[in-house]
Chain A
């Protein structure tokens, strides 16, 4: 099962001919992902890696190939337009990797997405991986920039705002012999398409997911909102980690959304609420997987 994507998901890449997009499109192909189309305006008719057809518009790409998910790698000034184009073409899952999109642009995009059939993950995120069952998880669906080979197919769902911290958790799990159902990087921006709560709800409904790691950071209240819901509704064990305990207030810690604005969005406050809601909180980022195992009774 897994959530949002599986081995059969047909993926297109917007911005497939840029260096960043091309590199990661190639890695997804090597991972065994069904990458069926690329989109770069003005390069329609060409082929990526001699196999993947490139289209001028997302509308054409979807019509010709039946792609249902898109990975967006276009530069920040054009990213909002790219998301809206994917929505217009009816793409079900839009994953925006781009970092540095103006908040005003995302505010309008978020509003426009309401009532559409598209779900946005990101922006400023590492994307999603549903690991495959082959060697080093080959054959899975990789949308974005995560290293595929560190994964292993299994029963832990991972959701996080940070890329490298997600890899850290996945790596710990795989080392301990526990695989993942799906790993979702929701991104580090203040306005994003999919929240911790959205992903927790999906993991809760997914029969393959038996336990969850939720990784958050300072700023906003997304982790708190998810934890409060989980307290009464989530049937599965959850371990959590919140980064930024040592971050000075009022400073933007790399991620546009990682800024302490008040008393309730500090790491300490979030950890306290997570614990009160029954989530096992990892003391350090080295203990994310082991904390889950304790809670899970493994």
Chain B
């Protein structure tokens, strides 16, 4: 789950992680009011979408740039009117772009130095790891590649938590001294608390900046949350913006289906995440292009299969469907009946290949064969993949 920049600022404020002054606005009037509130400071207006590359993007109405300096409340209102409810296209949004619903009016800070600071859940050590660098403001992957000596890592003990000496170590490695060092130490301590308390999987500040007036501020941040832990964070779930997500994925999540849209033309419907990935792979192996990842879980009920069909058929690129179910515990005949009911409800305008295996498979295949529907039966995964690739052509 992703959050907007203004929501990240809300979390920073709550955990006392200093960031530039800012306020979100949903209308030109609100934008003007916010600009008035911060009068005296140099200000910037920023379109709120999840995608990056906003500054260099353009709106479909012709307005250039999703980020602008502003010098008056009037200008804030004027720019806001050109952004709100308009579609912004950036390198990350694709040609369709994203509709901007909100803008943020924020303080434009002068920068003395840029740093990089992140906390990640590290798989290798099974612990949080703090990554810091004096090379801020650029991609950390590039820094790791070009100047790996500029990256400092500190693993934090899972049960002890962040210790004072660890903060001192990181502060020293970044070369911070005096009051700046004190501010940084407090910021890092609060950031770690935010990371733990909100069940983050990743929290990246790039850049973290020092300013000529002697402040340390988190200028831009990227959050990743552990989906498994969202049940205990209703406040974070409330930040979800479904308009920013693939509508097919939103629809799938309502039926407990695990769906990820891709660019190919062969849809697949599979039980189990590993088998679903492997099914995509075998479609590709035989020359096809998978249109999606779709795991219906262990059950594959009629309701789920019907919902899955509707989502799959809603994708205009899809030219064929491969169902691959290993019915270990579930009765294959029940699955076959579910598939037929779903196909009858949604109609079957494109080729469907079904590979069933497992419990009561003969009855399941017989049910499919006698359904009167144009369903091709397959014996193995390879057989199924070859048949659907051939059918799609």
Contacts and interface: CB of A to CB of B under 8 A. Distances in A.
A77 B229 CA distance: 9
Query: What secondary structure prevails in chain B residues at the interface with A?
Result: mixed
B227 A243 contact: no
A207 interface: no
B277 A164 contact: no
Contact of A104 (B124, B199, B284, B359): B199
B380 A161 contact: no
A294 B167 CA distance: 55
Interface in A1-44: 27
Contacts of A100: 228
A150 B276 CA distance: 20
Interface string B292-330: 010100100000000000000000000000000010110
Contacts of A108: 158-159
B298 A145 contact: yes
B392 interface: no
Interface of B: 121, 123-124, 126-128, 157-159, 196, 199, 201, 226-229, 231-232, 258, 260, 262, 270-285, 290, 293, 295, 298, 326, 328-329, 357-359, 380-383, 385
A267 B382 CA distance: 19
Question: Of A188, A248, A254, which is in contact with the most chain B CB atoms at under 10 Å from its CB?
Answer: A254
A107 interface: yes
A103 B381 contact: no
A153 to B, nearest CB: 18
Nearest to A77: B231
Nearest to A123: B228
Contact of B228 (A161, A243, A256, A285): A256
B293 A253 contact: yes
B328 A150 contact: yes
8 contacts: A111-B158, A162-B272, A167-B358, A217-B277, A246-B280, A253-B277, A254-B293, A286-B282
Interface in A254-298: 254-258, 267, 283-287
B273 A254 contact: yes
A219 B277 CA distance: 13
A69 interface: no
A252 B249 CA distance: 12
Given A111-B158, A246-B290, A286-B381, A253 B121 contact: no
B17 to A, nearest CB: 19
A168 B381 contact: yes
Given A167-B328, A190-B121, A285-B281, A110 B260 contact: no
A243 B328 contact: no
Contact of B285 (A101, A161, A217, A283): A283
B76 to A, nearest CB: 34
A164 B272 contact: yes
Nearest to A108: B158
Interface in A69-90: 76-77
A285 B328 contact: no
A284 B275 contact: no
B377 to A, nearest CB: 16
B282 A217 contact: no
A160 B274 contact: yes
Nearest to B357: A171
B284 to A, nearest CB: 5
Contact of A107 (B126, B283, B295): B126
Given A104-B199, A285-B381, 13 more contacts: A102-B226, A104-B196, A105-B229, A111-B159, A150-B358, A162-B273, A164-B270, A220-B123, A243-B278, A244-B281, A267-B281, A284-B382, A285-B282
A246 B229 contact: no
B278 A285 contact: yes
B300 to A, nearest CB: 11
A247 interface: yes
A103 B228 CA distance: 7
A215 B274 CA distance: 9
A236 B281 CA distance: 28
Nearest to B280: A246
A112 interface: yes
A27 B126 CA distance: 34
A147 B295 CA distance: 19
Given A188-B273, A191-B123, A285-B275, A164 B326 contact: yes
Given A246-B262, A286-B381, A76 B228 contact: yes
A160 B260 CA distance: 23
A254 B292 CA distance: 12
A219 B124 CA distance: 11
Contact of B272 (A76, A103, A149, A165): A165
B123 A190 contact: yes
Contacts of A171: 326, 357-358
Contact of A168 (B123, B196, B258, B275): B275
B229 A104 contact: yes
Contacts of A285: 275, 278-279, 281-282, 381
A151 B293 CA distance: 28
B199 A255 contact: no
